[in-house]
Amino acid sequence: MVTNLLQKTAWVLYLILLHGSVMAMDESKDALIIDDFQSGDGQSIFGTRWSGFSDRVMGGLSDLNLGYQRLSDDRLSLRLQGQVRLENNGGFIQARLPLEKNGKRLDASQWDGVRVTARAQPGAYYIHLRTRATWLPWQYYGASIPVTSDQEWMTMDIPFGAFQGESTRRALDVSSLKSIAVVAYGEAFDADIEVIELAFYR
């Protein structure tokens, strides 16, 4: 009986040590991957699904094409294409991913910003974040994706401090994120951006 008790105690201590080491490994990671797009079915690693939206929901005339592109190394990228038009107060197309699951919003307060690996044709591209403070459709926090025109893959770290609020005076609260979006916005141009990884970094 004593032997069994000692064995159970040892097993519990082992599990505690194992759990502690796993937690330590998680805390040491420098990125939380939101999606690497390898499922190819619209569902992210985070567990929610990508959707495409354009200014046509408010009377605009921009065209949107959202899908997956197979690359030469057999990986997949998320590809957002379309003609961004400014008529009728329009001017955007976007790929949006909800960051709410089971009624809970994502707490990104332990991270420093958004990391995106992408390539694009020249144009105005952004990451948009929405929080519990952005309950109107035209409210968001946006930061530019600094892609170049050479069509090379680039990994870019965009700190949370770079995000500016649109139609809100509240500071960005990353402890309650509702969604993240890749957006072509604000200029009349033929948009074409591919993303192969999206993450939070520190």
Map 56-88 to HEC letters. Answer: HHHCCCCCCEEEEEECCCCCEEEEEEEEECCHH
Give CA–CA dist 80/191, Å, rounded.
7
**pLDDT of amino acid 188:** 97
Q: Do residues 131 and 177 make contact, with C-beta atoms less than 8 angstroms apart? A: yes
Q: What is the pLDDT along the chain (202 residues), one digit of tens a residue?
A: 434 433 433 433 333 333 332 222 234 489 999 999 999 999 999 999 999 999 999 999 999 999 999 999 999 999 999 999 999 999 999 999 999 988 899 999 999 999 999 999 999 999 999 999 999 989 999 999 998 877 789 999 999 999 999 999 999 999 999 999 999 999 999 999 999 999 999 9
**pLDDT of amino acid 20:** 33
Give CA–CA dist 163/75, Å, rounded.
30
**Domains along the chain with CATH numbers:** 30-201 (2.60.120.430)
pTM to 2 decimals? 0.84
For the chain, the residue count is: 202
**pLDDT of amino acid 121:** 94
Q: What's the DSSP call for residue 33?
A: E
Give the end-to-end CA distance of the chain in Å, rounded to a whole number.
50
Give CA–CA dist 41/78, Å, rounded.
10
Specify the 3-state DSSP secondary structure of 114.
Answer: strand
